[in-house]
Structure 1
Amino acid sequence: MAVEGRTLSEIYQSSKRLLLKTRGGLERLERFEFSSSNGVDSPELSYAIKRDISQIQSLCVEMDRLWRSVASKPQRDLWKRKVEQVAEEADSLKESLDKHLLRHQKRMMEAKERAELLERANGDSAHVLRIFDDEAQAMQSARNSSRMLEESYSTGVAILSKYAEQRDRLKRAQRKALDILNTVGLSNSVLKLIERRHRTDKRIAYAGMVVTIIVVYAFWRWTH
């Protein structure tokens, strides 16, 4: 029996050679897959294996028609088993190739996801660094404001201390003056005049203290 000038035996031998070639191709493809650090596929080799499997399956279709025309039943049964074996092996090779392609597709998806995660991570890192920088600037500004407030407070305290010292010296001077006036026997009108001057000086000292406190408070509010 022949199809396009080829006998069943010739077609069978062609299918066996293609099976051998396809098995070798799959072995090379798997070695290439597992030896590559990132599991890169060889598209040319995958395409060649897929083409050879399709050709084997076409040959099986031809042989399936031919063995049915064999006159001898024992020979017909023998060819049936041979053709079935070739078809089963072709299906097994196709399944192995499909599994390889699925693994390759999965690796590509995982690599894409890792790249996207890395890109997002880099973007988040930059955002976090910007937040830290803003917070550092805010903390530095707060420290500067606190230092300015402490300096203003120290200045206010020093001013108030000066006023207190001046008030004490004024009181001591007034007491000495009163003692002297009492000693020389000055009139009550002179004593009252001195007392009024004393009260006036006291009001001036207190007014200065109040103004200083207001200035320090206003400066503190302005820095915050």
Structure 2
Amino acid sequence: MEGGGATLSEVYQSARKLLLKTRDGVERLERLDYSASSDLSFSLSNDISQIQSLCVQMDRFWRSIAAKSQRDLWKRKVEQIAEEADSLKQSLDKYNIKNQKRITEAKERADLLGRANGNSSHVLRIFDEEAQAMQSIRNSKQELQNSTALGETILSSIHGQRERLKSAHRKALDVLNTVGMSNSVLRVIERRNRVDQRIKYAGMLLTVIFLCAFVMWRR
């Protein structure tokens, strides 16, 4: 249940703390003014991506647990964390969509007012900057998701290589055990051959003595 210097329990606790922090952040975000929410929205997006990455890590951990009861327990815990992270991500996405819609509508109203009185350039500049900030957040979020996917692929590859190394190690041990057993069998055969040779020579000697005694008796 260990990997990368942290146990499954430690990774789970880190994910739970980050989940609680993110949940509070989403609730606070919905109370903020739209113009002051860009930085918080970007931070929450990062936190959710980190939680999802921890879930991937925990998913590999619980699958390696030998006891089925413990494995099932951790599976439910990890799935619960993943489901809550998905729910927070959906809430954040809805908020960002609503925020973008509000900015677009405000820009359209300002444009209409500008055509009416020719004095809305400052308002338009404000909303242009806000729209650019939201677009930057979406781009950064996409880059984070791509980086997370790449990290998951690399971790899965490393995990597969470790399993192949374990399999090769077991095969090597089997070969060594087989060689050790073969050496033992050869030593037993060699001892048996030496005993057979001694019996053969002793039989030949007894036969010669018997023949000599018989000849002498016939005389």
TM-score w.r.t. the length of structure 1 is 0.53
The answer to whether structure 1 residue 72 and structure 2 residue 117 are counterparts is: yes
Aligned pairs for 1:56-95 (under 5 A) are 56-70=99-113, 71-75=116-120, 77-95=121-139
Q: Residues 1-224 of structure 1 correspond to what in structure 2 (within 5 A)?
A: 14-26=33-45, 28-29=47-48, 38=57, 42-70=85-113, 71-75=116-120, 77-160=121-204, 166=209
Deviation at 1:86, TM superposition (A): 0.7
2:103–2:131: 8 Å Cα contact kept in structure 1? yes
Seen in structure 2, the aligned counterparts of structure 1 residues 110 and 24 have a Cα distance that, compared at 3 Å, is closer
Structure 2 gap segments, 5+ residues each: 1-31, 59-80
What do the CA deviations read for 1:170-200 (whole angstroms, capped 9, x no partner)?
A: 6xx99xxxxxxxxxxxxxxxxxxx9xx9xxx
Contact 1:23–1:93 (Cα < 8 Å) also in 2: yes
Contact 1:29 1:45 in 2 (8 A): yes
**Mapped partners of 2:46, 2:179: distance in 1:** 59
Q: Which deviates the most, 143-152 or 50-59?
A: 50-59
Largest Rg, 1 or 2: 1
What is the TM-score with the length of structure 2 in the denominator? 0.54
Aligned-pair distance for 1:159? 4.6
Equivalent residues of 1:50, 1:94 under 8 A apart? no
Kindly provide the amino acid, as one letter, of the partner of residue 48 in structure 1.
Answer: S
Displacement of 1:29 after TM fit?
4.4
Letter in 1 for 2:117: S
In 2, the alpha carbon distance for the partners of 1:93 and 1:128 equals: 52
Q: Is residue 46–residue 141 contact of structure 2 (8 Å, CA) maintained in 1?
A: no
- Cα distance, 1:162 vs structure 2: 5.9
The worse-fitting range, judged by mean Cα deviation, of 104-113 and 78-87 is 104-113
| Equivalent residue, structure 2, for 1:219 | none
Change (3 A) 1:27 1:112: closer
* 1:10 corresponding residue in structure 2: none
SS at match of 2:108: helix
Q: CA RMSD in A?
A: 4.0
Q: What stretches of structure 1 of length at least 5 have no aligned partner?
A: 1-12, 175-193, 198-224
Structure 1: which amino acid aligns with 2:44?
G
Q: Deviations over 1:185-224 (max 9, x none)?
A: xxxxxxxxx9xx9xxxxxxxxxxxxxxxxxxxxxxxxxxx
SS at match of 2:112: coil
Q: 1:122 to 1:61 in 2, by over 3 A?
A: same
Q: Tell me, in whole angstroms, the C-alpha distance in 2 between the residues paired with 1:30 and 1:53.
A: 16
**Deviations for 1:40-96, whole angstroms, at most 9, x for unmatched residues?**
984344333333222232223323322221223342x21221121011110111122
Distance 1:61 1:85, change over 3 A: same
Alignment check: 8 A CA contact 1:19 1:56 kept? no
SS of alignment partner, residue 69 of structure 1: helix
Aligned residue pairs total: 159
AA aligned opposite 1:72 = N
